[in-house]
Structure 1
């Protein structure tokens, strides 16, 4: 089930709602026997530290590739 974006309105940031959402969606997915959540972000984005604080681990052998055309 691909989710393209997860956004939180600025007024709600830093209040624990994002972490609560991650925890709850993890609980729901476990109940439906989903084995893992895979996501990508950029290390320099604030999202990286948010996901790290919420238990996500970096995949050391995973490499993102990009080809600019034109």
Structure 2
């Protein structure tokens, strides 16, 4: 998740999951790194990828001001 606005993150999480999921499911970095803009999704992935096994596929997605979106499909080697 984009790590600039905790209220925006909570709103998106509520919309996507129709619940308030655990911090393990939706890591928030604002308390540790403050506003790190679109780099937040890469930092979150770096810090929280322990559960991926070789061959697992994931999607990293960042969104920001002006509704810009960037996505990256990754596979654990």
Structures share fold, TM-score greater than 0.5: no
Higher strand share: 2
Structure index of larger Rg: 1
- How high is the TM-score relative to the length of structure 2? 0.29
